Amino acid sequence: MKRLVLALAATALLATPAAADLKPGAKAPDFTAKAYLAGKAHTFKLSAALKKGPVVMYFFPAAYTGGCNIETRMFSEAADQFAAKNATLIGITAGNTDRIEEYSKDTQYCAGKFALLADPDAKIALEYDTVLRPGRSGRTSYVLSPDGTVIHAYSELKPQEHVSQTLGALTAWKASRK
């Protein structure tokens, strides 16, 4: 009976969406990570991107998996809308990091529209409190202002609303600055 209770508790924990502890108003941790844009490797530094404007970042569990494929394709399709708002768009994962280079140029998903970052050992995901399970990023999206303040955080395992949530928050923030 004790094993059954432990198994059910573990299953419930793994099925629960990650809660983004970085709430609006919090300072986003700076990081540097290996990134790929259309298959080309480079180093991404958050503080450098913030100097150019707001940053929209989404964490996803693993490349080439069902929900992540949907989410990445949706962000790819909306990439021009984020660029029109002078925002840097990035995706970050701790899962299948050995496939990020390939995923970043895959025309079905990212299509080279924005950088994808590898997060081995989920170190960045831990700093942003978006870990689905050990070694896996959760599904959380953040909008950061140029000073590194969290404007918006959205955590939901279903990928469908991440683009509209982040684009809406970015649009509202830009409108409030006029």
Provide the pLDDT confidence category of residue 21 given band limits of 50, 70 and 90. confident
One DSSP character per residue, 48-114 reads HHHTTS-EEEEE-SBTTSHHHHHHHHHHHHHHHHHHHTT-EEEEEESBSGGGHHHHHH-TTTTTTSS
Give residue 135's pLDDT: 73
Provide the pLDDT confidence category of residue 92 given band limits of 50, 70 and 90. very high
Q: Which amino acid is at 16?
A: T
With tokens 């919090």, the residue in question is 26
Other CB atoms within a 10 A radius of the CB of residue 60 amount to 29
Evaluate if residue 16 carries a pLDDT over 50: no
Evaluate if residue 17 carries a pLDDT over 60: no
- In contact, 111 and 37? CB cutoff 8 Å: no
Token pair recorded at residue 70: 């949907």
User: In Å, how far are 77, 109, 145 from 57, measured between CA atoms?
Assistant: 15, 16, 11
Give residue 6's pLDDT: 32
Cα radius of gyration rounded to whole Å, the chain: 16
Q: What is the mean pLDDT of residues 4-11?
A: 32
Give residue 124's pLDDT: 95
Q: What is the mean pLDDT of residues 70-89?
A: 97
Give residue 134's pLDDT: 74
The two beta strands, 136-137 and 131-133, are: antiparallel
Q: Cα torsion at 60, 132, 168, 42 (round to 10°)?
A: -30
Contacts of 83 (CB under 8 A, 6+ apart): 89
Tens-place pLDDT, residues 23-76: 999 999 999 999 999 999 999 999 999 999 999 999 999 999 999 999 999 999
Query: Which of helix, strand or coil describes residue 155?
Result: strand
Provide the pLDDT confidence category of residue 178 given band limits of 50, 70 and 90. confident
Give residue 60's pLDDT: 94
Q: Percent of the chain at pLDDT above 70?
A: 89
The full set of domain ranges for the chain reads 2-176
- Give domain 2-176's CATH architecture: 3-Layer(aba) Sandwich (3.40)
C-alpha–C-alpha distance, residues 139 and 137, integer Å: 7
Give residue 20's pLDDT: 53
Provide the pLDDT confidence category of residue 9 given band limits of 50, 70 and 90. very low
Residue 44: phi, psi to the nearest 5? Answer: -105, 130
